[in-house]
Amino acid sequence: MSQELSPIDKAKFVAAKRAVDFVEDGMRVGLGTGSTAAWMVRCLGELVRDDGLKIRGVPTSTRTAELARGVGIEVITLDEAKWLDLTIDGADEFDADLNLIKGGGGALLQEKIVATASDQMVVIADIGKEVETLGAFPLPVEVIPFGWQTTKSLIEELLISMDVLGREARLRMNGASPFVTDEGNYILDLHLGRIGNAQQLSLAMNQMPGVVENGLFIDICDVVVLGYGDGRVETRDINQGTVAEDRLDFLESDNLFTDMSD
């Protein structure tokens, strides 16, 4: 690293560094999208370069695919892989049951498809992503562009009957134009404040015409690897019911990380 990392970046780095320990030679690995997942891709690239690790990666976005190829990871499609041994990705929020909100980076559809096509999903996050109840982070909902304003109105009407604090839906923008996903869709960010029943909300929204997918990941994540700014790492396994703690050192000289920033 060319300069001292901030505490939040240190937390992301150590979580990513610990998470790649789950990857074994010959695996087909789903590669997540976002700032924390980018650290993980770089860590995997280091293992490919220095240790001869042989894996095939299925990226969840075009930018992750470009990064993976750039660090020497063999990139294949999900259709080529058919099934994955492991997916490692970040999260915008997670609760005690390891339910997630994802999609802040705009790749929630591919992320959910890849995660559910994996034997195991490992989420990497800094401690600030842990919440008692999901919903403080705006919930992304991917919708088709045709009739998106009607879809938005229907979602806001649906939210009246849901256990949430807020009901505002905002079209995600990219400058003066709507943000467009890799699949050519729009994203509505729902400012809910609190989601009382995430499973009910997820099922109800996905039955609505115009909605492609939502950013609630329910009963998909198996392990969360939490990073702290002082180098501590906590690994929580929901299936085993275990919590493991460790501490990692920072290797400031590793040139794989010289251009990383949020």
Q: How many CB atoms lie within 10 A of CB 24?
A: 12
Look at the block and give the residue holding tokens 């041994």. Answer: 85
The type of residue at 55 is I
Residue 241 known to bind ligand:
no
**Which segments of the chain are extended strands (E)?**
28-31, 56-59, 74-75, 86-89, 93-94, 100-101, 121-126, 139-143, 168-171, 173-174, 177-178, 186-191, 211-214, 216-217, 223-227, 232-237, 242-247
Residue 33 known to bind ligand:
yes
**Phi then psi for 149, rounded to 5 degrees?**
-70, -35
Torsion-angle region of residue 250: left (phi > 0), alpha (psi -120 to 50) or beta? beta
Residue 227 known to bind ligand:
no
Residue 95 known to bind ligand:
no
Residue 258 known to bind ligand:
no
Residue 36 known to bind ligand:
yes
Q: Which of 46, 111, 142, 213 is catalytic?
A: 111
Residue 89 known to bind ligand:
yes
Residue 184 known to bind ligand:
no
Strands 121-126 and 86-89: parallel
Whether residue 111 lies in the annotated active site: yes
- Cα separation, 89 vs 205, whole angstroms: 23
**Which segments of 66-155 are extended strands (E)?**
74-75, 86-89, 93-94, 100-101, 121-126, 139-143
Q: How many CB atoms lie within 10 A of CB 261?
A: 10
- Cα separation, 203 vs 209, whole angstroms: 13
Residue 6 known to bind ligand:
no
- Cα separation, 39 vs 159, whole angstroms: 36
DSSP 131: -
Residue 26 known to bind ligand:
no
Residue 128 known to bind ligand:
no
Residue 72 known to bind ligand:
no
Positions marked active-site:
111
Q: Which residues line the annotated binding site?
A: 33-36, 89-92, 102-105, 129
Q: Which residues line the annotated binding site for substrate?
A: 33-36, 89-92, 102-105, 129
